[in-house]
Amino acid sequence: MIGKSMYDNELRALLLELLVELTPKDYERKKVEEIVHLFTSRINDICRELKINAKAEVQGSIAKDTWISGDRDIDIFIVFPKGTPAHIVRTLGLEIAKKASGTNYVECYAEHPYVRAFVEDYAIDIVPCSEFDPKEGRPPTAVDRTPLHTRFVNEKLNERLRNEVRLLKGFMKGIGVYGAEVKVTGFSGYLCELLVIYYGSFLEVINNARYWKPFSTLIDLAKHYEDPKQALKIFKSPLVVIDPVDKKRNVAAALSLDKLSLFMLACNLFMSRPSKIFFKLEEHVIEEATEGDLRNYLDKSKTTILALATTLKSMPPDILWGQIRRSCNGIVRLLEQEGFKVLRWSVWSDDEKEVVFLIELESSKITPTIKHMGPPITSIEDVMSFLQKHVSSPQTVAGPYIEGDRLVVLTVRRASEATSFLKDNIHRAELSRDFAEALSERFDVALNEGVLSVCRGKVSSYRRFLKSFLRGSPHWLMNICA
Amino acid sequence: MIGKSMYDNELRALLLELLVELTPKDYERKKVEEIVHLFTSRINDICRELKINAKAEVQGSIAKDTWISGDRDIDIFIVFPKGTPAHIVRTLGLEIAKKASGTNYVECYAEHPYVRAFVEDYAIDIVPCSEFDPKEGRPPTAVDRTPLHTRFVNEKLNERLRNEVRLLKGFMKGIGVYGAEVKVTGFSGYLCELLVIYYGSFLEVINNARYWKPFSTLIDLAKHYEDPKQALKIFKSPLVVIDPVDKKRNVAAALSLDKLSLFMLACNLFMSRPSKIFFKLEEHVIEEATEGDLRNYLDKSKTTILALATTLKSMPPDILWGQIRRSCNGIVRLLEQEGFKVLRWSVWSDDEKEVVFLIELESSKITPTIKHMGPPITSIEDVMSFLQKHVSSPQTVAGPYIEGDRLVVLTVRRASEATSFLKDNIHRAELSRDFAEALSERFDVALNEGVLSVCRGKVSSYRRFLKSFLRGSPHWLMNICA
């Protein structure tokens, strides 16, 4: 239990202060209500007109009243009656959503097609789904579960717990682990709510999370599983939180080990040094990188920063970031296989089509000579063909000689400079199809100071990312530990 | 079986030709007889004078008549009667040996003290030992076994087999695997004789050795062991050849895996392309390295050749080479632990006191930035002290950040240039005591073209070694496969 000392009074004061900041202001609530009313009536009108038996329903954090000040996302579902065929929900649902959106919207496909409309600085996701009875099995699509989540959470939360959820969301946003999108691979809003319901308060979540063990912590509110080991075996995720409304679903499935670890680290630090710093979004405090910053960094590190920029066709962020992850892994592997030493890497995107891979290499140049291990001396045929290949080859630098029971040769590498290597060999990397296509049309490679100007899109956002990459450490961590 | 075709006639002709070269010339035999007679009578005279019951006996390849033309080594033993106490054999034996040696000799200590005398270009090892009865157990010292070896071999060899031994010795000398000294870690003369006795001919040794399996080939002429697995378990050597006169001894104990593999490789190549090339000593064909050679090599390889030279107090070659092996391993490990990439290394010595370590590095410079893995996020205390150490440290280049479930930081290395690193840190390497002492008094480190002139001793021999190092591959291998 937490809360006995002087320190504790200060901590309470701090949380109270934070809560005031995190709670939606009256003008925000009013604005949200207006928008919700506008879209639900539009949808209901369209349904009536088209004589379709479906109705609009607000969902997500608005419906649960767990949103925090500054949130500009609204979820409105078009709920079709139980048993409506999935293809009807899809096509008809999407048609209604588009009609209701006005002129400013995009079509999105995550697990399910939906429409994102924009009104002033609000994004309204309009998502078709169908009612279903959980007793009759699993939902037809993932989004059909959402109304059940809303119901479950609303049954469990009271005014106090809603505030605890707001604190947790504010904390997670501040340290950069909030959001289950592919870009973030962090904690969803629903996951925050379940954690507060399970542990009872923001502080108890934070205090308990410090002792979580990645890949062996299980949270099972509805007690779907008698044996935790069984559930852990099924899900094999860094964190397993069984969905109370669907025992076959891990609510934390999208959470990566990196983000789980980052959260646990922040929890540890917060418990020893509580501070508002954890609640300040990185982007709000970080400045842009300048040429001087880069030069200072490179002078100290003597490493090479390499940027690879390209432009994809526009696509929804989740699809984009899935492709980014896969393609960037492929490029890093390609570099490493050739012998370049990758210290770390990261990716920036405008979330639409402009992408910059940032890779820090020990050096952009590697020795062109490589030690190539040949067959063991007992494989007579292999030995003979190895000798045939290497003894008189112009590629051979020294050898073949013997090390232990194997032949070895020093031979010339394909490439020894990262930029030209990437230009000539990028097609050999494992890339998503869209990336392969994009790279065949345009890609820029830049080194060191050159990386500042490689971005064609939102330059200011890119330069903030670059500054944050150079520093390497989250702002809150440096502030707390300095 | 070998020997059915046209090819075979040519092979026989080749071996015959080689045998003529390898067989000692009449003038050599005469000279050896003279020296043997001179030393045995001197020793016997001294023993008579001192009233010591011991007598001189020629041993080794002269006694077995398995020496080859050009050999300039003669072994003469001073044999004390059975049961003479070991310390008497040592002290009295050494005194007699010195008296018999004249003025030009050195005192040597291998397993046993002895004297090496020099007459013209001959080296005469005068070794005290005592007779013993093998039925009564193991010999008091290793050299006491030698007369038994001579007897065993002479019982088994006839004129034809002596020639086969000469061919095998000539082959092993030619490819550089002859000699059980610590410097060579190859095949002793006695081992050559046993192999010929076991397989029946030079060609059968060569043909069978191709199929040896390092660490699981056993040759047990006297059938001391019923179960080969048992013997292999006891000896655990790359090759196990049980001494017919001592079941507890592996005659191939000094043979390294490298030299065994080199021999097997040569056997394979000889069987497919028989040639005199295998019988030509490397040293006789290799030229000295020039500055141009080095520059050509470095231009092609872009690597760094580093030489570390020092001067030890004079010591017997076996002791010197034992220390060289150990100390060089220590230095290579030191470099690798710091992050320098060692491609290969070798050592030259004048066999007395001047030593040059030659090390090929991917680069003499490494990035001063190192990726330092911290504790897993679950070790709360370690996490806190890691953060404390690195967050505000001037050594920190980037981070701490999270990778998987661990903290990581990019930090500045101790050193990033090999020469200065070695100068400042050589004392941290695991060195033999004599080497540590020698290095504290003098060591020169040179890079690239500088390595040509780092040697103070037998420069011509060093430069031949250097040339051979640059090429990396034995002369015979390149000639046969080209």
Chain A residue numbers touching B404 (CB-CB < 8 A): 257-258, 261
Alpha-helical segments (H) within B361-458: 380-390, 418-425, 433-441
- The phi, psi pair for A34, rounded to 5°, reads -60, -50
The answer to whether the CB atoms of A397 and B363 lie below 8 A apart is no
In terms of CA atoms, which chain B residue is nearest residue A479?
B391
The answer to whether the CB atoms of B472 and A367 lie below 8 A apart is no
**Between A and B, how many residue pairs show a Cβ–Cβ distance under 8 A?**
179
The answer to whether the CB atoms of A272 and B471 lie below 8 A apart is no
Q: What is the pLDDT of residue B169?
A: 97
The answer to whether the CB atoms of A343 and B371 lie below 8 A apart is yes
Check pLDDT > 70 for residue A243: yes
pLDDT in tens, B125-148: 999 998 887 777 777 777 888 889
* Cα dihedral A263, A266, A270, A271 sign: positive
- The residue-averaged pLDDT of B367-390 equals 92
Q: What is the pLDDT of residue B18?
A: 94
The answer to whether the CB atoms of A264 and B377 lie below 8 A apart is yes
Check pLDDT > 70 for residue A471: yes
Helix A159-175 to helix A202-209 angle (10° resolution) is 50
Beta bridge partners of A347: A357
Q: Give the position of tokens 């996490």.
A: B383
Minimal C-alpha gap between B339 and chain A (Å): 11
The answer to whether the CB atoms of B397 and A473 lie below 8 A apart is no
Give the three-class secondary structure for B68.
coil
- The residue-averaged pLDDT of A345-367 equals 92
> Which residue did the predictor score with more confidence, B113 or B332?
B332
Check pLDDT > 60 for residue A224: yes
> Which contiguous run of DSSP H or E holds residue A205?
helix A202-209
In terms of CA atoms, which chain B residue is nearest residue A255?
B404
pLDDT in tens, A35-68: 999 999 999 999 999 898 999 999 999 999 999 9
- The phi, psi pair for A404, rounded to 5°, reads 65, -120
The answer to whether the CB atoms of A265 and B478 lie below 8 A apart is no
Give the span between the Cα atoms of A442 and A444, in whole angstroms: 7
Q: Decide if B361 contacts B303 (C-beta within 8 A).
A: yes
Give the three-class secondary structure for A212.
coil
The answer to whether the CB atoms of B384 and A264 lie below 8 A apart is no
Identical fold, A157-280 and A291-365+416-481 = no
In terms of CA atoms, which chain B residue is nearest residue A264?
B377
Within 13 Å and on the Cβ side, how many CA atoms surround B278? 28
CA angle B424, B429, B435 (to 5 degrees): 95
Please give the sequence-ordered ranges of beta strands (E in DSSP) within A41-104, or none if there are none: 55-59, 73-80
Check pLDDT > 50 for residue B66: yes
Minimal C-alpha gap between B165 and chain A (Å): 24
Chain B residue numbers touching A383 (CB-CB < 8 A): 265, 268
Within a 10 A sphere around the Cβ of A482, how many other Cβ atoms?
7
Minimal C-alpha gap between A450 and chain B (Å): 20
Closest partner residue to A405 (CB to CB) among B257, B269, B405 is B257
Chain A residue numbers touching B405 (CB-CB < 8 A): 214, 238, 257, 260-261
In terms of CA atoms, which chain A residue is nearest residue B342?
A371
Least confident of A216-220, A280-284, B42-46, B88-92: A280-284
In terms of CA atoms, which chain A residue is nearest residue B213?
A378
The answer to whether the CB atoms of A377 and B264 lie below 8 A apart is yes
The answer to whether the CB atoms of B368 and A301 lie below 8 A apart is yes
Give the span between the Cα atoms of A290 and B186, in whole angstroms: 63
Which listed CATH number (3.40.50.10210, 3.30.70.590, 2.60.40.2130, 3.40.190.10) goes with A291-365+416-481? 3.30.70.590
* Cα dihedral B255, B257, B259, B260 sign: positive
The answer to whether the CB atoms of B344 and A401 lie below 8 A apart is yes
Q: What is the pLDDT of residue A351?
A: 84
Q: Decide if B226 contacts B205 (C-beta within 8 A).
A: no
Tell me how many helices (H) and strands (E) chain B has: 18, 15
pLDDT in tens, B441-457: 988 999 999 999 998 88
Domain boundaries, chain A: 8-149, 157-280, 291-365+416-481, 369-412
pLDDT in tens, B292-315: 999 999 999 999 999 999 999 988
Residues in chain B: 482
The answer to whether the CB atoms of A391 and B362 lie below 8 A apart is no
Q: Decide if A110 contacts A129 (C-beta within 8 A).
A: no
The answer to whether the CB atoms of A378 and B213 lie below 8 A apart is yes
Q: What is the pLDDT of residue B1?
A: 47
- B32: amino acid identity, one letter: V
C-alpha separations of A266 from A253, A263, B277, B336 in Å: 21, 5, 70, 36
Provide the percentage of residues in chain A whose pLDDT is more than 90. Answer: 69
**Largest separation between any pair of C-alpha atoms in chain A:** 84
- The residue-averaged pLDDT of A302-322 equals 90
The edge-to-edge listing of strands for the beta sheet with A113-119 is: A55-59, A73-80, A122-130, A113-119, A105-109
Give the span between the Cα atoms of A426 and A448, in whole angstroms: 20
Chain A residue numbers touching B372 (CB-CB < 8 A): none
Minimal C-alpha gap between A269 and chain B (Å): 8
The answer to whether the CB atoms of B272 and A384 lie below 8 A apart is yes
Within a 10 A sphere around the Cβ of B134, how many other Cβ atoms?
12
A1: confidence class by pLDDT, cuts 50, 70, 90: very low
In terms of CA atoms, which chain A residue is nearest residue B266?
A377
- The phi, psi pair for B250, rounded to 5°, reads -95, 115
Chain B residue numbers touching A360 (CB-CB < 8 A): 398, 410
Which listed CATH number (2.60.40.1190, 3.40.30.10, 3.30.930.10, 3.30.460.10) goes with B21-143? 3.30.460.10
C-alpha separations of A355 from A46, A186, A288, A361, B372 in Å: 39, 21, 18, 19, 29
- Pick from B305, B473, B476, B478 the residue to mutate for testing the A interface (most A CBs within 10 Å): B473
The answer to whether the CB atoms of B368 and A257 lie below 8 A apart is no
In terms of CA atoms, which chain B residue is nearest residue A342?
B371
- A158: amino acid identity, one letter: N
Closest partner residue to B362 (CB to CB) among A213, A258, A367 is A367
Closest partner residue to B391 (CB to CB) among A391, A416, A482 is A482
Chain B residue numbers touching A402 (CB-CB < 8 A): 258, 261-262, 265
The answer to whether the CB atoms of B416 and A367 lie below 8 A apart is no
Query: What number is the ipTM of this complex?
Result: 0.87
Q: What is the pLDDT of residue B280?
A: 82
- Classified by CATH at the fold level, domain A369-412 comes out as Alpha-Beta Plaits (3.30.70)
What is the DSSP secondary-structure string of B293-306? HHHHHHHHH--EEE
In terms of CA atoms, which chain B residue is nearest residue A213?
B378
The answer to whether the CB atoms of A473 and B405 lie below 8 A apart is no
Chain B residue numbers touching A210 (CB-CB < 8 A): 380
Provide the percentage of residues in chain B whose pLDDT is more than 70. Answer: 97
Residues in chain A: 482
> For domain A8-149, which architecture applies?
2-Layer Sandwich (3.30)
Q: Decide if A422 contacts A384 (C-beta within 8 A).
A: no
Chain B residue numbers touching A414 (CB-CB < 8 A): none
Within 13 Å and on the Cβ side, how many CA atoms surround A72? 9
- A311: amino acid identity, one letter: T
Q: Give the position of tokens 């031979």.
A: A411
C-alpha separations of B290 from B181, B296, B297 in Å: 30, 10, 11
In terms of CA atoms, which chain A residue is nearest residue B214?
A405
- The residue-averaged pLDDT of A250-266 equals 96
Please give the sequence-ordered ranges of beta strands (E in DSSP) within A17-72, or none if there are none: 55-59
Helix B159-175 to helix B202-209 angle (10° resolution) is 50
In CATH, what class is A157-280? Answer: mainly alpha
Please give the sequence-ordered ranges of beta strands (E in DSSP) within B137-276, or none if there are none: 218-219, 240-243, 246-250
Beta bridge partners of A445: A308
> Which contiguous run of DSSP H or E holds residue B164?
helix B159-175
Chain B residue numbers touching A301 (CB-CB < 8 A): 367-369, 397-398, 410
pLDDT in tens, A102-111: 888 888 776 6
B283: confidence class by pLDDT, cuts 50, 70, 90: low
pLDDT in tens, B198-242: 999 999 999 999 999 999 999 999 999 999 899 999 999 999 999
Tokens of B320: 């010197």
Minimal C-alpha gap between B400 and chain A (Å): 5
Check pLDDT > 60 for residue B6: no
Within a 10 A sphere around the Cβ of B215, how many other Cβ atoms?
15
Tell me how many helices (H) and strands (E) chain A has: 18, 15
- What b-and-e string marks burial along B176-205, b requiring 16 or more CB atoms within 10 Å of the CB? bbbbbbbbbbbbbbbbbbbbbbbbebbbbb
Q: What is the pLDDT of residue A283?
A: 56
Chain B residue numbers touching A412 (CB-CB < 8 A): 300
Provide the percentage of residues in chain B whose pLDDT is more than 90. Answer: 69
Nearest partner of B354 among B308, B310, B307, B306, judged by Cα: B310
Give the three-class secondary structure for B161.
helix
- Pick from B343, B346, B388, B406 the residue to mutate for testing the A interface (most A CBs within 10 Å): B343
- Pick from B300, B373, B381, B382 the residue to mutate for testing the A interface (most A CBs within 10 Å): B300
Give the span between the Cα atoms of B126 and B114, in whole angstroms: 6
Nearest partner of A96 among A144, A35, A42, judged by Cα: A42
